[in-house]
Structure 1
Amino acid sequence: MTARKPSRKSPEPIEVPPAPQPVTTEVGAPAPDPVAPPPAKRARARKTAAAPPRPRRGGGGKGVLPATALDDGDRGRLLAGEHHAPHDVLGAHPAGGGVEFRVLRPFAHSVTVLAEELRAELQSDGDGFFSGVLPLPAVPAAYRLQVAYDDNTIEVEDPYRFLPALGELDLHLIGEGRHEELWKALGAQPMEHQGVPGTRFTLWAPNARGVRVAGDFNYWDGTAFPMRSLGSTGVWELFLPGVGEGAVYKFDICRPDGSHTQRADPMARHAEVPPATASVVAAPHHAWQDGDWMAHRGDRPVHESPFSVYEVHLPSWRPGLTYRQLASQLPSYVRELGFTHVELMPVSEHPFGGSWGYQVTGFYAPTSRMGTPDDFRFLVDALHAAGIGVLMDWVPAHFPRDDWALAEFDGRPLYEHSDPNRAAHPDWGTLEFDYGRTEVRNFLVANATYWCEEFHIDGLRVDAVASMLYLDYSREDGQWSPNEHGGRENLDAVAFLQEMNATVYRRNPGVVTIAEESTAWEGVTRPTDRGGLGFGLKWNMGWMHDSLVYIGKEPVHRKYHHDEMTFSMVYAYSENYVLPISHDEVVHGKQALVSKMPGDWWQQRANHRAYLGFMWAHPGKQLLFMGQEFAQGAEWSEGHGPDWWLLDPAYEASGDHLGVRTLVKDLNAVYGALPALWQRDTSPEGFAWIDGGAAEDNAFAFVRYDADGSPLLAVSHFSPVVRHDYRIGVPDGPEAWVEVLNTDAARYGGGDVHNEEPLKPEAVPAHGRETSVTLTLPPLATVWFRPA
């Protein structure tokens, strides 16, 4: 919001009310406290205002005694914005003969103290300082200031009469790096303090010489609002009465070299819409309706549950929609397709939309591009009401270098490592966090729990874990130094990830953390008490890469790459895996999934359908990026999102795409109904090859088992021919097998080659089994069978 200038009015004698309220200019908006330069300089330019006018001395009301002269050092430090203890100098303090008042209000003509029945004008000491000793027996419990400017007079509370609004326990936990609810201690917190509504501003900036609050409530001149340092923790604090929700602000930091920088709040819960960069005072008001969901989401371990994920880039899923508009469309679409979860690409505030959210500046603020934090809560609530879990991409690996954000925040490396080689991320031009610094680790661990607790997020997919784990990640010899044991492991990052996972799981039952980790690091999903990193699931990048290599080959060449599809079973139970076909695989020249396939359009779609059938039957959970559920042929672009027009009946080939979407809907429905496909994803007893070596046929046959031993038979055939009387061995027990899903069905756009009658086992050995069946294999198709 933009502060409105108070109307010009000559001051009248004021009777001090017994319970004064802050002056406001509009409903819910704090009155601006004009320590303002002339109107021409009131643009919201995030710069310190022009120098104050030439000092004026004298004045003072009747009965007001002169105050002790302000020490030149204090005066200079206050004007320079580098005072550590402004409350020791400003405000009201006992003095000989009464109570001494001192106020800093640049550009003011006069300041009058209103206390009980006393009205006393202070003396002007120049440079915007006003002081005087009032004949009071003690510092009044409450008083107000009447401040007169050239064109108006306002009545305000004195910020420097308030005690610290941050407790000793908070400071102790911050100092130890163990404040698990850090967002409740740092940042801008609307509150009532000493009976007065306002906002407590707190900031961690240990290298700063001084910090001031600047915002639309003081025309971006923080001279009159210096913060106090609270001991050795590096935390600065100031309670500003009358400032409330919607106020826009930054911190004016005096760096060690005496220069100033205005920074967005690292703990801001809301931010201006980019490209504007200031923080916004906010508080939650959403009334959650998902109590039943939250109470039962952890009833069954995630690795023993159906888990089928639709990955979404919210700004481009339906471009132009707000969070609340998305809430009326996204849940119903995802529910119709049968996905159990959505995964949202990063929603934390970021300045550059082309980064897709992976270069975060506001780690505690949902991007304001689509609405407020409460609007985002509304969307999560709507997804939960539809029975859909919400996963969120979380990016603790790096942050951008924007000079209004975290980089050299208080004039020295703070959030980043002090060693430039350790700080600079070699791939993305960003900075890496210093995981060895307790306060930085606390900032990130608390951030993980913040999203789970304040926004009811059901899981965090942690981006770029490999870049965190290795000191030599994308670095040449000489560009990195080994750890204390001579290795290349980043031990600080390991400790951070273990602490984050342990904290999230302890505080939030039912939440899952998922690692995007592209190496063979051992124990990514092993519990922390057994030396692992503690993630619940890990993206199987090896399966993704190998299977896409295979499926991209012409069928005649696939026999030479057969092991690309079988190798994943060698390590399938080393971790708890998710099989991802994510946004990364359909951008930057990699082509959309259907366009990776060889052959004509019919064969491309058939390959696409067969591949999805293989993916859903393979051990592991599934993730599919938006647009791939209906075989979009073009790469994804954040500028326009999925090509929804392909589903328009007016488009002559819309049936080709609707058929693939129908397949995805049926895959999810059958998947959810048959525990054999998910119940034993992490147990070797849940899978058995029937024939993993049919390279000449481009065929793969295997069986999945649920906890009771009930099987599901899956056969994938990646040749463009029909194979009749194809014999495979089957488990003993079932008297017949029936098709439960066939990706070549006509309703999916296939040729409708299928097995009409149940398959009767025969006492003919095959593939090391005593009984076998003969079936018809459709071209470029996956077929699932279950016992009749």
Structure 2
Amino acid sequence: MTELDPTRPIASAADRPRPAAVEPQVTVVEPRHEPVQDDGPAQVPDAGVPAAAVPDASLPAAELARLVGGWHHDPHGVLGAHRVPGGTAVRVLRPFAERVVLETAEGSCHPMTHQQDGLFTVLLPGAAPASYRLRVTYAGSETLQDDGYRLLPTLGETDLHLIAEGRHEQLWDALGSHPGTVQGVTGTAFAVWAPNASGVRVIGDFNGWNGAAHPMRSLGGSGVWELFVPGIGEGTRYKYEIATRDGRLLQKADPLAQATEVPPATASVVHASSHTWHDQDWLARRAAGTAHDRPMSVYEIHLPSWRPGLSYRQLAVELPAYVRDLGFTHVELMPVMEHPFGGSWGYQVSGFYAPTSRLGSPDDFKALVDALHAAGIGVIVDWVPAHFPKDDFALREFDGQPLYEPADPLRAEHPDWGTLEFDYGRTEVRNFLVANAVFWCQEYHVDGLRVDAVASMLYLDYSREGGAWSPNADGGRENWDAVRFLQEMNATVYRRCPGVVTVAEESTAWPGVTRPTDSTHEGRSGLGFGLKWNMGWMHDSLQYMSHEPVHRKYHHNEMTFSMVYAYSENYLLPISHDEVVHGKGSLVAKMPGDWWQQRANTRAYLGFMWAHPGKKLIFMGTEFAQGAEWDHDTGPQWWVLADDWPAAADHRGVQELVRDLNRIYRDAPALWQQDTDPAGFSWIDGGAAEDNVFSFIRSDRSGRPLISVTNLSPVVRQDYRIGLPTVRADVRDSVWLEVLNTDAEVYGGSGVGNPDPVKAESVAWNGRDTSALLTLPPLATIWLSPA
């Protein structure tokens, strides 16, 4: 057990010991010997008479009404043991108890008097006893219990100071629920931020969801309410019952809960991790570099539907093996945080600190991350700080007033998703989110955060018509509070979690998304992200591919325009879940032509994508040319790979291509080492619109090149001459090998290509001194590497 001493201010909140885990539902406890709180006469501000006039341990009616009604800000000031004229008053709340007897450490017993509404009192002669327990009888059955109201707060002064300043980077260690030991008493510490509440109580399966026995105390002006409940531990279900200033009682899940019930149930669950990590070598390697100078090909997954019915533990067996076999370097998990509606795919989060219980426990999710790391696969999680749902049990008007959301409805309402936005200008809210980002990287060892809907955070008028939004103090549309939050989040994550990468889904031309926060770009400080999704490339290139080949020459710039701005940010190229839902069709279904041409177009496009500057991402099912768009209930169409499926070989061919793309990509630094450096790319011919051909060179830092040529017309182009970079002084010794051909028969293609080594010639072409004649397969991409 971890013994807490709440009487001593701690030097560092990051070092504050967390309570150790205990068994839940402890009902019989051996007597211990600790001092009780002795703070002089009890204060009874609403009694109308001074404390000295109270003849016994009972409470004045007004004080009792506030206490049992749930409106008391300081229940510890009247409950527990307190010196009063004539001795020590001990008061406890035990609703529905038939009898309560106070038993001292020395063994003396003192029956308590039931005053009213579950309040039992006794006046002991002299000073407060060194320690005591309560023998409580319910329905004829007696249990021995500790009194949590004799204990001091479990939060130290440093915690409260950092919370008030919005600088508690391990907020989850201070707030939420933590099983452990305090002053020799086992139980669970609860703490919640609710500054507008008139009173807060803990309710749960340990008290029949009746909070009368467990009012929390307000810790000064911090807005934090705290209570240690003896005898309960891991697995306990609970919520907070919040008394609002306008007289309502709300039942709210814990915003810092680290585990939850399985939806549609909404209670929080006390959790203490027992997982032992085995990825120390992985973390050390990760910290030794950055994502920018490493290969990154990402497989995006919706965990509940990848293999419907599998738990985290089962996924830990199947998913790493599959992803490793295909050669992806990372997985990106659509939001794993708890959410009430499965159809939101996790993008309407109610439990920001808890992985969804649909697939198992928090430790089960840790086991999945551990298994992926063991297989050499990084884990990126989708993180959603842009909005939250309006469900009554969650963050909405958490303490009866707008708290996590802005008070201004023109800023609070998110028009696209029927949700609420966060109040990024409030220090405690910003702290909640910054600490949450750190939490997933630090506690769950994830290797990256893909931040959803960044554009909706940056602009006050996002998806809002004129008059439906409130401008900033300068009259502009920029949300400077959100900017400062994103900068703080990125700076904090990169400082605390070496090797982690943050990725922005940002669809506008906001300058400096991936520039450092201490640099200025176009007059603005950088946001500090590591990577940005290249939504422009995705939109333009898919638009080009949707055209029939005969019309593509009129849209040639849709494939080349991305290189105009390719180095303005650090980019990742996404073919994500957003592109295969809501009637958009799967990737292969977007392609024109018959089934052969659709597959050929898909293969050529993937070859072009893997050669283009920028990291790579495709959504599950795309790797084997799934024909239907994604359905979150059924997941990928795995059956199309089965032997009895008529077109199984066609789908396996695309899957084999993806496997080879990843293998060659990882082994060829030219394709990733200079993703963010213009020196790593040069066009051979970016203007061959009449031919529907795109040819360019990628180079690593040593100058070693790889050539990519894409023919997006359905005809074979024989003796097609392209200029070549000089790799040897004597051009006669320059030989190039075809290392990839998306038209190869093994991928389901026609087998046209360049099986023999390609000899360079001293023929000037495309502005270069040497060139070669190639055979360009139809609707295909080929890669050439010097022999």
Aligned equivalents of 1:232 and 1:71: distance in 2?
26
User: 1:721 aligns to what?
Assistant: 715
1:724 counterpart SS class: strand
User: 2:96 aligns to what?
Assistant: 107
User: 1:626 aligns to what?
Assistant: 620
Instruction: Identify which of 635, 641, 644 aligns with 2:635.
Output: 641
Q: How does 1:425-574 map to 2 (within 5 A)?
A: 425-530=414-519, 531-574=525-568
Q: How does 1:127-146 map to 2 (within 5 A)?
A: 127-135=117-125, 137-146=126-135
Instruction: Identify which of 117, 121, 125 aligns with 2:115.
Output: 125
Q: How does 1:348-497 map to 2 (within 5 A)?
A: 348-497=337-486
Alpha-carbon deviations, 1:241-285, whole Å to 9, x = none?
A: 111000000000001111101000000000000000000000111
User: 1:339 aligns to what?
Assistant: 328
Deviation, structure 1 residue 128: 1.5
User: 1:46 aligns to what?
Assistant: none
User: 1:9 aligns to what?
Assistant: none
User: 2:23 aligns to what?
Assistant: 28
Deviation, structure 1 residue 140: 2.6
Aligned equivalents of 1:641 and 1:126: distance in 2?
58
Deviation, structure 1 residue 154: 1.9
**Is the contact between residue 31 and residue 217 of structure 1 (CA under 8 Å) also seen in structure 2?**
no
Aligned equivalents of 1:69 and 1:327: distance in 2?
58
**Is the contact between residue 213 and residue 249 of structure 1 (CA under 8 Å) also seen in structure 2?**
yes
User: 1:177 aligns to what?
Assistant: 166
Deviation, structure 1 residue 107: 1.6
Aligned equivalents of 2:140 and 2:131: distance in 1?
27
1:607 counterpart SS class: helix
Aligned equivalents of 1:103 and 1:703: distance in 2?
78
Aligned equivalents of 1:151 and 1:585: distance in 2?
64
Give, as a single letter, the amino acid of the residue that structure 2 aligns with 1:327.
A
Give, as a single letter, the amino acid of the residue that structure 2 aligns with 1:676.
A
Give, as a single letter, the amino acid of the residue that structure 2 aligns with 1:289.
H
**Is the contact between residue 66 and residue 133 of structure 1 (CA under 8 Å) also seen in structure 2?**
no
Give, as a single letter, the amino acid of the residue that structure 2 aligns with 1:132.
V
Deviation, structure 1 residue 650: 1.8
User: 1:695 aligns to what?
Assistant: 689
Aligned equivalents of 1:330 and 1:114: distance in 2?
57
Aligned equivalents of 1:225 and 1:564: distance in 2?
64
Aligned equivalents of 2:283 and 2:727: distance in 1?
41
Give, as a single letter, the amino acid of the residue that structure 1 aligns with 2:625.
A
Aligned equivalents of 2:124 and 2:301: distance in 1?
64
Instruction: Identify which of 190, 205, 209 aligns with 1:201.
Output: 190
Aligned equivalents of 1:300 and 1:126: distance in 2?
66
Aligned equivalents of 1:753 and 1:536: distance in 2?
40
Q: CA RMSD in A?
A: 1.2
1:262 counterpart SS class: strand
User: 1:593 aligns to what?
Assistant: 587
**Is the contact between residue 175 and residue 256 of structure 2 (CA under 8 Å) also seen in structure 1?**
yes
**Is the contact between residue 57 and residue 91 of structure 2 (CA under 8 Å) also seen in structure 1?**
no
Give, as a single letter, the amino acid of the residue that structure 2 aligns with 1:130.
F
Give, as a single letter, the amino acid of the residue that structure 1 aligns with 2:766.
H
User: 1:611 aligns to what?
Assistant: 605
Deviation, structure 1 residue 31: 4.3
Give, as a single letter, the amino acid of the residue that structure 1 aligns with 2:427.
T
1:297 counterpart SS class: helix
Deviation, structure 1 residue 155: 1.6
**Is the contact between residue 383 and residue 450 of structure 2 (CA under 8 Å) also seen in structure 1?**
yes
User: 2:744 aligns to what?
Assistant: 745
**Greater alpha carbon shift after TM alignment, 374-383 vs 644-653:** 644-653
1:565 counterpart SS class: helix
Give, as a single letter, the amino acid of the residue that structure 2 aligns with 1:783.
I
Give, as a single letter, the amino acid of the residue that structure 2 aligns with 1:475.
R
**Is the contact between residue 136 and residue 144 of structure 2 (CA under 8 Å) also seen in structure 1?**
yes
**Is the contact between residue 471 and residue 488 of structure 1 (CA under 8 Å) also seen in structure 2?**
yes
Structure 1 580/32 Cα, relative in aligned 2: closer, same or farther at 3 Å? farther
Q: Percent identity?
A: 68
2:723 counterpart SS class: strand
Structure 1: where are the runs of 5+ without partners? 1-26, 34-64
2:277 counterpart SS class: coil
Deviation, structure 1 residue 511: 0.2
Aligned equivalents of 2:190 and 2:63: distance in 1?
22
User: 1:676 aligns to what?
Assistant: 670
Give, as a single letter, the amino acid of the residue that structure 2 aligns with 1:76.
A
Deviation, structure 1 residue 28: 3.3
User: 1:39 aligns to what?
Assistant: none
Runs of at least 4 residues off by over 4 Å: none
1:29 counterpart SS class: coil
User: 2:307 aligns to what?
Assistant: 318
Structure 2: where are the runs of 5+ without partners? 1-21, 29-53, 520-524, 729-733
Alignment coverage as a number of residue pairs: 730
**Is the contact between residue 66 and residue 132 of structure 1 (CA under 8 Å) also seen in structure 2?**
no
**Greater alpha carbon shift after TM alignment, 113-122 vs 264-273:** 113-122
Aligned equivalents of 1:750 and 1:428: distance in 2?
43
Q: How does 1:771-786 map to 2 (within 5 A)?
A: 771-786=770-785
Deviation, structure 1 residue 32: 6.9
**Greater alpha carbon shift after TM alignment, 461-470 vs 89-98:** 89-98
2:365 counterpart SS class: helix
Aligned equivalents of 1:309 and 1:132: distance in 2?
66
Alpha-carbon deviations, 1:27-62, whole Å to 9, x = none?
A: 9331479xxxxxxxxxxxxxxxxxxxxxxxxxxxxx
Aligned equivalents of 1:665 and 1:478: distance in 2?
52
Aligned equivalents of 2:272 and 2:57: distance in 1?
42
Give, as a single letter, the amino acid of the residue that structure 2 aligns with 1:738.
L
